[in-house]
């Protein structure tokens, strides 16, 4: 009787469970109890949420999850505000997911329309904040790649490993440039490593960052790697080791 009760409740819409899903890695979504181990929840407490459909937790449990993941305790408890203390505190997290799905499948972001396809620009120059309008548009293209990708992940309750996400963002960016007939003189390996540096740092720290901020940092890191081969080589070694250990 109790197992049937648990099964029925687990199939119901559970906002608390859905919020916790957003804090889990891809591996933890496959093996949910590994999340409980990481954040320090007892098996009984986690079973109450994941299997039996529990929709509320004691404050000390909420605080424990928040401390381990960096999530906003108010968001964890109520669904209000942002998942992490970076956006507007009064904004609801539960936004219409259909909006993100529609945006995610648009391979050609609006920002691309004003780019002069006859220009051949170096990536590190094209992404400079104070460059002319065309270069600003190229910066927006990379930001748009992130917005679409992360919107799709949010809409489907999914996460990507840092290496997979970095490779996907690079392919997405190249696809948009090809769609707009823009030729950029970039080192793809250097760009991939710059993206990976940001993604792996956020992954292990369990933090989030806006697409605009990621683009800014990727620009700076790209220039660092471009001018310091030894730094790039060190990151390349770390990237290969990360893939080997998966």
What percent of the chain stands above pLDDT 90?
22
Contacts 24+ apart (CB under 8 A), 195-200: 195/165, 195/166, 195/169, 195/170, 196/162, 196/163, 196/166, 196/235, 196/239, 197/221, 197/235, 199/162, 199/163, 199/165, 199/166, 200/162, 200/163, 200/238, 200/242
Asked if residue 211 and residue 106 are part of one domain, the reply reads: yes
Who wins on pLDDT, 42 or 207? Answer: 42
Question: What is the domain count for the chain?
Answer: 2
Structural contact between residues 232 and 225, judged by C-beta atoms closer than 8 angstroms:
yes
pLDDT at site 237 = 94
| 176-234: pLDDT as tens digits | 888 878 877 789 999 999 999 999 998 887 777 888 889 999 999 999 999 999 999 99
Ranking 12-21, 72-81, 116-125, 216-225 by mean pLDDT, the lowest is 116-125
3-state secondary structure of 243: helix
pLDDT at site 108 = 38
Question: Domain ends where: 45, 78, 111?
Answer: 78
The chain-wide mean pLDDT, for the chain, equals 75
Residue 15, domain extent: 2-78
Structural contact between residues 24 and 35, judged by C-beta atoms closer than 8 angstroms:
yes
Asked if residue 103 and residue 24 are part of one domain, the reply reads: no
pLDDT at site 135 = 55
Q: What are phi and psi of 245, to 5 degrees?
A: -85, -5
pLDDT at site 137 = 64
Domain assignment present for residue 175? The answer is yes
What is the pTM for the complete model shown?
0.51
> E strands along the chain, which residues?
120-122, 183-185
Domain assignment present for residue 13? The answer is yes
pLDDT at site 230 = 95
| 72 pLDDT above the threshold of 90 | no
Structural contact between residues 123 and 186, judged by C-beta atoms closer than 8 angstroms:
yes
Q: Which of 100, 101, 134 is nearest to 117 (CA)?
A: 134
Ranking 32-36, 47-51, 135-139, 206-210 by mean pLDDT, the lowest is 135-139
Ranking 113-117, 148-152, 183-187 by mean pLDDT, the lowest is 113-117
Domain assignment present for residue 87? The answer is no
pLDDT at site 109 = 39
Among 76-80, 86-90, 98-102, 155-159, the range with the most confident prediction by mean pLDDT is 76-80
pLDDT at site 81 = 75
Q: Return the bridge partners of 183, or none.
A: 120
Asked if residue 63 and residue 104 are part of one domain, the reply reads: no
Domain assignment present for residue 92? The answer is no
């Amino acid at each position: 009787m109790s197992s049937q009760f648990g099964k029925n409740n687990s199939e119901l819409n559970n906002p608390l469970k859905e919020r916790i899903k957003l804090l889990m890695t891809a591996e933890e979504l496959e093996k949910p109890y590994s999340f409980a181990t990481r954040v320090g929840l007892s098996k009984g407490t986690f079973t109450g949420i994941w299997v039996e459909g529990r929709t509320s937790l004691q404050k000390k449990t909420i605080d424990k999850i928040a401390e381990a993941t960096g999530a906003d305790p108010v968001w964890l408890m109520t669904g209000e505000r942002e998942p992490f203390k970076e956006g507007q505190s009064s904004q609801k997290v539960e936004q219409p997911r259909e909006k993100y799905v529609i945006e995610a499948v648009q391979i050609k972001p609006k920002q691309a329309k004003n780019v002069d396809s006859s220009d051949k620009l170096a990536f590190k120059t094209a992404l400079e904040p104070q460059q002319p309008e065309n270069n600003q548009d190229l910066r927006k293209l990379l930001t748009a790649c992130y917005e679409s990708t992360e919107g799709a992940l949010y809409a489907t309750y999914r996460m990507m490993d840092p290496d997979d996400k970095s490779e996907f963002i690079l392919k997405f960016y190249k696809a948009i440039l090809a769609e707009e007939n823009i030729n950029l003189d970039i080192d793809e390996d250097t760009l991939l490593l710059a993206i990976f540096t940001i993604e792996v740092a956020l992954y292990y720290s369990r933090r989030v960052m806006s697409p605009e901020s990621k683009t800014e940092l990727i620009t700076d890191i790209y220039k660092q790697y471009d001018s310091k081969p030894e730094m790039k080589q060190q990151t390349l070694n770390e990237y290969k080791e990360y893939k080997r250990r998966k």
